[in-house]
Chains A and B, each alone.
Chain A
Amino acid sequence: MMDCARYKNSILADPRDTDPELHEHRASCGACNQYTERLLRFESRLGRALRVDVPVPAAAAGVDAYAPVPAKAPFSGNVVSLRGKSPRRAAGARTYRKGWLAIAASVLLGFTVAGVLWLAAPGPSLAADVVTHMAEEPEAWRRTDVPVPETHLNQVLRESHLRLVSGAGMVSYANSCRFRGHQVPHLVIQTGSGPVTVMVLVHESASGPQPFDEHGYRGVIVPVAGHGSLAVLTRGGATDPAAILRIAARVLDSIVWTA
């Protein structure tokens, strides 16, 4: 039988350990359960802290800059000299790459300008698409006190590399939905204000909280550092925007990213 000290020792080393013995102890020990929840909250913040911003345009430039010169190109054979190079040659190679980086950067600048113009062009907003998606799954809005089976919930979340720790509320519906070309978790959480729909949009970024009120749905899209955004919706417009933001914050705090 596992004791609390051994449990905490294991969980501190790997808070996501799925060992059934750990799970069993946690289920039977309130203190360890609370301890784990605190630890997982810290773990979630740690995950976000590790995801420092990286320069995205440089990524594309980098690949092109290091991609090989075609076999017939005049620089063939001189571009990548990795073994036994002297510091001076290394510096030369770096200067050469910097030249390529500069060229790639100008090309990227062009792409960026085009991208900005493209993004600025009128098109369906993210909020509008989320609302449209809601209309396709009306059964999700039932008010109920029956939680979705944990195995099913975990499976839906696992596909998007996340899981929920307690704190978000009871999840009564979970489905992996096709949205803008990607599979995303679509959850319904029962709250004091009624059912609230949550969509985890890993592939959709947001620059800041975007409240919306469209076609009878009121909600907010909030950015999630390193993981796109999160959409939270209520139906009927009875819930005030501040309460929706609080629900979104609570859900975010309950998410543990696993990749």
Chain B
Amino acid sequence: MKDDVGGNQKRARFQAICQSLRPDLLRFAFWLSRDRALAEDVVQETMLRAWKAQDSLLDQSSAKPWFLTIIRREYARSFERKRFVTVDVDELIAKEEPMLAAAEEQDLAEIRAALFKLPDEYREPLVLQVLMGYSTAEIARELDLSGAAVLTRLFRARKQLRVLCGEDTSLDADE
């Protein structure tokens, strides 16, 4: 009986965490993979793993980075399984067009398309910083990079993105 109550509490706690984090986890997985269906699969697998390993989540406030780490691993595993060879960005953009264009402003759709064109190593830290609110140190920890390397990638990411979006970059600093 006690076990049932404990199990229910555990389940409720897990559900509450998942429900609050899932939108951002899906967004993160989407920008990581640029593929909505794959993003949903990755998040599903992530939740399964998270449920099994939830005892290792001691502090509920660290749930978000914990889930993000699992998502990154799951996404890497999906590569092992599916063995993607090349990525045609234009095809990806065409495939995800309904999602990219589902914006109230045209320029948001343009930024989304430009994000698709950013190399992975620039897009990922940028998404972690802007969407997930990570600090440079947190990004460095998650991506296993030095702080300086993260800042360089973020600098290049914004610079490229602004060029792709037709922003005036004539006053930007050189690296």
Contact = CB atoms under 8 A, between A and B. Distances in A.
Interface of A: 4-10, 12-14, 31, 35, 38-39, 42-43, 45-54, 56, 58-60, 62-68, 70-71, 80, 82, 87, 90, 94, 97, 161, 223, 225, 258-259
Nearest to A17: B136
A13 B151 contact: yes
A13 B152 contact: yes
B117 interface: no
A60 B131 contact: no
A42 B162 CA distance: 8
Contacts of B162: 42
Main secondary structure of the interface of B (DSSP, over half): helix
Nearest to B111: A49
By size class, the interface of chain B is: 35 or more
A94 B41 CA distance: 9
A13 B27 contact: no
22 contacts: A5-B173, A9-B155, A9-B175, A13-B152, A14-B136, A14-B154, A38-B168, A39-B158, A43-B130, A46-B130, A47-B130, A50-B31, A50-B127, A50-B131, A52-B30, A52-B102, A56-B23, A60-B19, A62-B22, A68-B51, A87-B81, A259-B133
Contact of B107 (A6, A7, A45, A66): A45
Contact of B43 (A38, A52, A62): A62
Interface in B74-111: 81, 99-100, 102-105, 107-109, 111
Interface in B119-175: 127, 129-131, 133, 136, 151-152, 154-155, 158-159, 161-162, 165, 167-168, 171-175
By Cβ-Cβ distance, the 4 closest A-B pairs, closest first, are A8-B173, A49-B111, A59-B22, A13-B151
A97 B52 CA distance: 16
A204 B169 CA distance: 37
B15 interface: yes
A62 B164 CA distance: 36
Interface in B24-52: 26-27, 30-31, 40-41, 43-45, 47-49, 51-52
A60 B26 CA distance: 13
Contacts of B171: 8, 31, 35
Nearest to B169: A12
B107 to A, nearest CB: 6
Interface of B: 3, 7, 11, 14-15, 18-19, 22-23, 26-27, 30-31, 40-41, 43-45, 47-49, 51-52, 81, 99-100, 102-105, 107-109, 111-112, 115, 127, 129-131, 133, 136, 151-152, 154-155, 158-159, 161-162, 165, 167-168, 171-175
Given A46-B161, A63-B47, A58 B40 contact: yes
A60 B158 CA distance: 35
Nearest to A3: B173
A171 B102 CA distance: 33
B155 A13 contact: yes
A56 B18 CA distance: 12
B33 to A, nearest CB: 12
Nearest to B167: A42
B141 to A, nearest CB: 16
